[in-house]
Amino acid sequence: MSTIERTLVLLKPDAVKRGLMGEIVTRFEKAGYKIVGVKLKQADAQKAGEHYGEDIATRRGEKVRALLMDFISTSPVLAMVIEGVEAIENVRMMIGATEPKSALPGTIRGDYAHVSYKHADAKEKVVENLIHASADANDAAREIPLWFGEDELCNYTTVYEIHTQ
């Protein structure tokens, strides 16, 4: 069983609009993760609906799903496929808690966001939390093909891999 995994990461419209793309990508690279796919993509209503599937409505409600779909369509997102050792779990740890005000310092959300669920609910908007990453292997398997064709993903060896082989 391989410990090398791929996960989808989306830098959401708030990260793009705030000019945080380079800073966030650098964090993953410095941690030794390999970016095997990357593109700036404007999500239309269909793409937003595919990404935020019906299970979101079941878990969080149709209103939340609609808000998420609207938000992800407000500007381009930077879509990435990141590969590395146990990438799914480790990338999510680097990102921090979904609610930014609860994210620890040193995580992406903890360092760059501070919005709370309470604030977002009062404003009737989504929690702008900068980034999405696949929750588990099943989500990664579903999400990566939504955003990338197989021909858009690259295989190469990084300096980290050369030195650890």
- pLDDT one-digit tens code per residue, 84-122: 999 999 999 999 999 999 999 999 999 999 899 999 989
Q: Is residue 115 part of a domain?
A: yes
Q: Is residue 52 part of a domain?
A: no
pLDDT at 64: 84
pLDDT at 135: 95
Q: Is residue 54 part of a domain?
A: no
Q: What is the pLDDT of residues 47-81, one digit of tens each?
A: 998 998 877 656 667 888 889 999 999 999 999 99
Q: Any idea what DSSP says for residue 96?
A: -
How many domains in the chain?
1
Q: Is residue 32 part of a domain?
A: yes
Quote the tokens at residue 113.
């966001």
**What pTM does this model have?**
0.92
pLDDT at 138: 95
CA 29 – CA 26 distance, rounded (Å): 5
Closest CA to 78 of 165, 135, 8, 143: 8
Q: Is residue 122 part of a domain?
A: yes
77-85 and 34-41 beta bridge pairing? antiparallel
Cβ burial, residue 88 (10 Å; 0-12/13-18/19+): buried
Largest CA distance in the chain: 52
pLDDT at 54: 72
Q: Is residue 67 part of a domain?
A: no
Q: Is residue 49 part of a domain?
A: no
**Within 13 Å of residue 76, how many CA atoms lie on the same side as its CB?**
10
Which residue in 51, 114, 119, 132 is the catalytic one? Answer: 132
Q: Is residue 60 part of a domain?
A: no
pLDDT at 165: 66
CATH of the domain at 32: 3.30.70.141
For residue 163, indicate whether it is catalytic.
Answer: no
Q: What is the pLDDT of residues 1-33, one digit of tens each?
A: 789 999 999 999 999 999 999 999 999 999 999
> In terms of residue numbers, what domain contains 97?
4-40+80-164
